[in-house]
Amino acid sequence: MKITLPYSGLQWSDLWFVLQGIGNTVLLTVIAATIGTIIGLALGWARGESKTARWAFAPIINVVRSVPLIIQLILASSFFAMAGGEASPLVAGCVVLSLYMGVLTSELVRAGLASVHITLRRAARSLGMSYWQELRHVSAPLALRAVFPGWVGTLIALTKDTALVGVLGYVELMRATQILINRTNEALLILTGAGLFYFLICYPISRYCRRLEKAMNHD
């Protein structure tokens, strides 16, 4: 009688499957980081310049920062389903992660603008600059230097948080890793490889952004 083994070994085709997962992770990170940064810049500026905006957006920011991302992902997917439209895991993940990135970035931007001393802003205005000229040439460059390191840390954290979108069925790197572990029972080897891939994604970002930060500080 032929005995069927419950597990199968790793195959070369599994490498392509993992690479697809890496591509999905990078795609989700790029979309969420781009949209989230734009949201964060606008929201952070509004909350830094207007007390009304600060109070109006405070509930949303507190909820997004306090509720675990995995719960937000499940609730967002359920909301789309109840609304009558089935959003793909990529769309639901982009919405949640973009909002999360936007909220965290907005707090960095607000704090960065607040770190610019009021006397510098008044001096620029006294020289005849308009509000937008002062913001562009004085406040924004100084705030960017203060915000940039925190934003880089948020971007790297976002890259790792994309693993949570796997609960919706999106096959990113961690989800692909789990599928392979269930099929091959090679947990140690596969997780080591996944950790290496995350390192190869995040470390170049960190190094490149560090070079940009040094360049900004030398200007």
Least confident segment among 36-40, 136-140, 181-185: 181-185
98 assigned to some structural domain: yes
1 assigned to some structural domain: no
3 assigned to some structural domain: no
100 assigned to some structural domain: yes
Domain ranges, residue 106? 20-218
Res 2: pLDDT: 42
Domains in the chain, number? 1
Span 136-162, mean pLDDT? 91
Contact (CB, 8 A) for 113 and 45: yes
- In the predicted model, is pLDDT for residue 4 greater than 60? no
Span 48-67, mean pLDDT? 90
Least confident segment among 48-57, 133-142, 175-184, 208-217: 208-217
**Residues 29-61 as b or e (16 or more Cβ within 10 Å = b):** bebbbebbbebbbebbbbbbeeeebeeebeeeb
Mean pLDDT, all residues of the chain: 88
6 assigned to some structural domain: no
2 assigned to some structural domain: no
49 assigned to some structural domain: yes
- In the predicted model, is pLDDT for residue 216 greater than 80? no
Span 129-150, mean pLDDT? 90
164 assigned to some structural domain: yes
Span 95-105, mean pLDDT? 95
Task: Residue 212: give its domain's CATH number.
Answer: 1.10.3720.10
